[in-house]
Structure 1
C-alpha cells in the first residue's frame, strides 16, 4: 500500500511539473510581441479579413489560458498541434525521432562502456600516472564547450582526414553517427568516469569488502560482484537521467552535422517563428524527461533495496 501511495504521489508531482512547465513555455512562445499570422504574408501584407479568418482558425483570437487549455486537451488525443502552414507537428516529429533516438542511444552506449571502463581503471590504479591522466582528460573534456569540440572534430576527421561524412545521415549507422555521438558523449562520459571512480573508491574501503577478502574470496569476485553492484547505483541513476538530456539536448550537434532530427527541427522552428512546432517539440521533450525521471526512481529502487523499505 505504501508503495502504491508513493507511486501515485510521484506521478501526481510529475503531472504538476508537466502542466507548470508547458504553461510557461506556451506563454513565452505565444505571448511574445509580433503577429505570426501577418508574418505568413512575407513581403505581401495580408488583408485584415484574411488575418481575422486565420486567427480564428488557429484560435489566436481567444484568451491565452483558453488557447493553452485547448492545447492540453489536444495532447490527450495525441495531437501536438498544427503549424500555420497546416502541417501536423506530431507527424513532423515522427519522421525526425529515429535520427535523434539513434544518435542519443549511440552516445549513451559510449558513455556506459567507455565512461564506466575509465572509472574502474582509474579507481584500481589510484594515484598512478594512469589515474592522473584519466582525471585530467575528463576535466578537459568537461571544460571545452560542445560546439567547439563538434566543429573541431568535424574539421579534422571529416574535412581533413575524410574518415567520416561531413554532414547528413546518407551513409547510415554507424558511419554517419559515430562522430556526432562521440561529441555528445564526451561531457557525460567524463561525469560517468569520475562518478564511477569516486563510488568505487568509497566502496573499496568499506567493511563488507574487508570481510569478503578475509573470507578468502578472489579479488576479481569481490570487485566484480560485490563492489561493482553497490558502486553502480549512483552511476546508473546518472545514466538514466542523462538519457533524457541526450534525447533533448542534441539541437546544437544536429545543427553542426546537419542531422535531420528533432533538435534540428526545433532549431528551424525557432528561426522561422513557428510557435506551434516549438511548443509541440518542447512538450514531447518534457514528457521524455518525466518518463526518464520515473525510470531513475525504478532503477534506484531495483539496485538499492533500502529505497523500497
Structure 2
C-alpha cells in the first residue's frame, strides 16, 4: 500500500511537470514571431485565401492558450496532431520509433553490461593500474563531443577498418546499430562505471560485509549477492533515467549515420519549420522520460530495504 500511495503521489507530481514542460515547449514553438503557414510557400507567397483556409484548418486563428488546451486534450486521446502538409504526426513517429528504440536499447545494454563490469572491476582493484586505466579512459572518451566521436568512429571503424556498416540500416540489427550505439553508450559508460566503483567501495566497508565475512561467506557470494544488490541503486537510477536521455540524444547520431529514426524526424521538422511535429516529438520524449522516472522510484523500493 505504501508503494501504491507513494507512486500515486509521484504520478500527480509528474503530471504537473508534464503540463508545465509541454506548455513551455508549445509557447517556444508557436509564440515566436513569424507565420508557419506563409513559410510553406517559400519564395513564392501563398494566396491570401489559401493562407486563411490553412490557418483555420490548423486552429491558428484561436488564442494561444486555446490552441494549447486543444492540443493537450488531443494528447490524452493519443492524437499528436497533423503537420502543415496534412500528415499525422503520430503515424510519422510510429514509422520511425522502431529504429530509435532499437538504437537506444542497444546503447543502453552496452552501458548496462560494460559500465557495471568496469565499475566493479575498478572497485575490486582500487588503487591499481586497472582502476586508474578505467578512470582515465572513461574521462577522456566522455569529454569528446558526440559529433566528433561519431564522425571519427564512422571514419575509422566503418570506412577504413570496415568492421561496421558506415551508414543506413540495410544490414539490420545488430550490425547497423552497433557502431552508433557504441558512440551513444560511451558517455553513459563513464558515469555508470564511476557510480558503481564508488558504491561498491562504500559497501565493501559496510558493517554487513564484515558480518558476512565473520559468518564465513565466500568473497564471491558477498560481492555477487549482497554488495552488488546494494550497490546497484545509484546505477539503476542513472540507467533508468538515461534510457529516456538516450532516446533524445539520438538526433546527432542518427544524422551522422543516416538512420531513419525519430531523431532525424525532429531534425527535419526543425529545418522545415513544422511546429506540430517538433512539439509532438518533444512531448513523446518527455513522456518517456517521466515514465522512466516513475519506474526508478518503484525499483528503489524493490532494491533497497532501507527505503521500505
Give TM-score, length-normalised by structure 2. Answer: 0.98
Residue matched to 1:79: 79
Gaps of 5+ in 1: none
**Within 5 A, what are the aligned runs for 1:1-309?**
2-308=2-308
For 1:84-138, what per-residue CA distance to the aligned partner results, in whole angstroms no more than 9, with x for missing partners?
1000000000000000000000001100110000111111111111111111111
Tell me the CA shift for residue 52 of structure 1: 1.0
- What secondary structure sits across from 1:176 in the alignment? helix
2:203–2:227 Cα contact (<8 Å) kept:
yes
Tell me the CA shift for residue 182 of structure 1: 0.3
Tell me the CA shift for residue 222 of structure 1: 0.9
For 1:46-86, what per-residue CA distance to the aligned partner results, in whole angstroms no more than 9, with x for missing partners?
11111111101111011000000110111121100100100
In 2, the alpha carbon distance for the partners of 1:3 and 1:184 equals: 33
- What secondary structure sits across from 1:45 in the alignment? coil
- What secondary structure sits across from 2:233 in the alignment? helix
2:7–2:298 Cα contact (<8 Å) kept:
no
In 1, the alpha carbon distance for the partners of 2:178 and 2:17 equals: 35
2:158–2:166 Cα contact (<8 Å) kept:
yes
Runs of 4+ in 1 over 4 A off after TM superposition: none
Aligned-residue RMSD, C-alpha: 1.0
For 1:155-190, what per-residue CA distance to the aligned partner results, in whole angstroms no more than 9, with x for missing partners?
111111222111111110111011000000001011
Tell me the CA shift for residue 2 of structure 1: 4.4
In 1, the alpha carbon distance for the partners of 2:255 and 2:151 equals: 11
2:37–2:54 Cα contact (<8 Å) kept:
yes
In 2, the alpha carbon distance for the partners of 1:263 and 1:38 equals: 26
In 1, the alpha carbon distance for the partners of 2:218 and 2:161 equals: 47
Give TM-score, length-normalised by structure 1. Answer: 0.98
Tell me the CA shift for residue 3 of structure 1: 4.0
In 1, the alpha carbon distance for the partners of 2:294 and 2:232 equals: 18
